[in-house]
A and B are shown apart, each in its own frame.
Chain A
Amino acid sequence: MSLSTQDVEKVARLARLAMTPAEIETARAQLSGIFGLIEEMQAVDTKGIAPMSHAQDVAQRLREDKVTETNQREAFQAIAPQVEGGLYLVPQVIE
């Protein structure tokens, strides 16, 4: 299976990536290569094998429900591009 330019443009838009036509072509070729690998893998018979959701065969460790974090707003906001009244400011988004 080979990806179209439109497929790449759509994925780029979803990821909010601005790409030039040349970059789109490069990405298209690379992603198509990955799809080639997936096709090879899909050819393998996996009947009776449970799907894997993580590369490591261990279970999630759990954390006790206790507050461990303190307020570090000042430190975090010192590196933010724009803040006001404790809020992080971003270009206006209105649905």
Chain B
Amino acid sequence: MTWEIVIGLEVHTQLSTNTKIFSGASTAFGAEPNTQADAVSLALPGVLPVLNKGAVERAIKFGLATGAHIAPRSVFARKNYFYPDLPKGYQISQFDLPVVGQGSLTIQVEPLSGNAKPYEKTVRITRAHLEEDAGKSVHGESQGVTGVDLNRAGTPLLEIVSEPDMCSAAEAVAYAKALHTLVRWIGICDGNMQEGSFRCDVNVSVRKPGQPLGTRREIKNLNSFKFMQQAIDYEVQWQIDTIENGGKVHQATILFNPETGETRAMRSKEDAHDYRYFPDPDLLPLEISEEWKEQIRATLPELPQAKRERYVASYALTPSDALVLTASREMADFFEGTVKLLLSKGAGTLTSKEYPTAEAYAAKMCANWIMGEVNAQLNRDNLDMSQCPITANQLGGILARITDETISNSGAKEVFRTMWAEGGDADAIIEAKGLKQVSDSGAIEAIVDGVMAANAEKVAEYRSGKDKLFGFFVGAAMKASQGKANPAQLNEVLKKKLAG
């Protein structure tokens, strides 16, 4: 009997403001404990919250980027609970009138295993609301006490809540990744998962097809996509096993342990979810004018989904390639910059059957190099695209010399490695390393003649029908040219001369 998996996500993104959501204290990461905990963060008596315009702007940006309704009027509410890292005794959040209403995000799902094909899916976003982060508790430093660092208290968060639209770990991960890309793309969050700037809570339930939703359990605070996938896989299996063995799933908050790969329920207090929300009398309703919204809309860049569609439509790239090339704005800029340079260097005449326009041909070549050589080097050096030591123009310079046949593909790789390590431009490296390929037909004919003379026996064998020897001649001639012969030309000359 098959089971249907139902997954929804709540993602806390830390907004990239300079200051806290309700006070002018810095939000810089890594400061000495409590040096950024001002009177508001500490909830000293008599302080009042004053809303940060930068936080609201970022929320609006997100709403616009997901096609959501931006509430002309939204309200802050107190969410009451007791914990030492929340000195007010309540978190200022939004409840029934959030700043961002229903929107959606179209994702490209790359199945995690098997031969399943990538596909697109639109995930509905229920809402996104502004709230403040809590401080940090430090356990176990001294016996019998807990230390509290309130530097993080009051850091602005945008909590993004999805509908339960995902039905596999692959879809949940694809959605989380797309959201992660988007918030960095529009510059509202640095996306640093290690520092807790992007934290995912995943609601998981299972049901038989056609049945009402099952009871869900919420996996808290996942801070890597790999853990998210492992946690969901484990949790789904656990729920199915529990029900098939005659048990029942109870609503619970659970934690994932990366060491064991298992999920386990947190000891939940009986009243944990009795938050007694009510409108915060310290804050007036937040009003957002059409004019402000439109000003912010005008600052939005072309979004990842639009770029993906454009790459597929005008460059004939596959959706999977387009997804890799839009993983970040830096990546997309690098790709587009390389294509632009390559086309400007006169690669505009090259086409192939698969890539019938010059744009498509150049784009595919750039895509292959970026997803291959560039990504491999970045991974090896543990860098991300923003730290890439070579520019789009530099890479384009190499590729232009492949298309005009100055260098071979293997020569280009050598230029690339040198450029990566030492910098410099393609032409200078080609010159210095003597990588220019030989395209002079006289010179190539001389090489081929030499190789044939030295291997007269093999020539005879070839001519008596041993076609497989052709590869041997190509290798020998290429070696004789010290790898510099133009491969296409070499093939042609060899074929002609061997035929006799």
Interface residue ranges, A against B (CB under 8 Å): 10, 13-16, 53-56, 58-69, 71-73, 76-77, 82, 84-95
Contact = CB atoms under 8 A, between A and B. Distances in A.
Interface of B, secondary structure class, is loop
A85 B24 contact: no
A71 B24 contact: no
Contacts of A66: 18-19, 24
B271 A67 contact: no
B122 interface: no
Contact of A95 (B18, B42, B266): B266
A91 B142 CA distance: 10
Contact of A62 (B32, B56, B274): B56
A63 B51 contact: yes
Contacts of B285: 53-54, 59-60
Nearest to A54: B284
17 contacts: A10-B271, A58-B284, A60-B283, A65-B19, A65-B53, A65-B55, A67-B18, A86-B149, A87-B148, A88-B147, A88-B148, A89-B142, A89-B148, A90-B145, A90-B148, A92-B139, A93-B83
B284 A59 contact: yes
Interface of B: 17-19, 23-26, 32-39, 42, 44, 50-56, 73, 75, 80, 82-84, 89, 97, 137-139, 141-142, 144-150, 266-267, 271, 274, 276, 279, 281, 283-287
A94 to B, nearest CB: 6
B298 to A, nearest CB: 19
B24 A63 contact: yes
B36 to A, nearest CB: 7
A65 B25 contact: no
Contacts of A64: 53-54
A89 B24 contact: no
Given A14-B271, A67-B24, A69-B23, A60 B18 contact: no
B350 to A, nearest CB: 49
Contact of A14 (B82, B142, B144): B82
A62 B51 contact: yes
Contacts of A86: 32-35, 149
Given A14-B274, A16-B82, A56 B284 contact: yes
Contacts of B55: 65
- 9 closest pairs, A vs B, by CB? A65-B54, A68-B24, A87-B147, A86-B33, A59-B287, A62-B53, A69-B38, A60-B284, A69-B25
Contact of A84 (B53, B54, B73, B142): B142
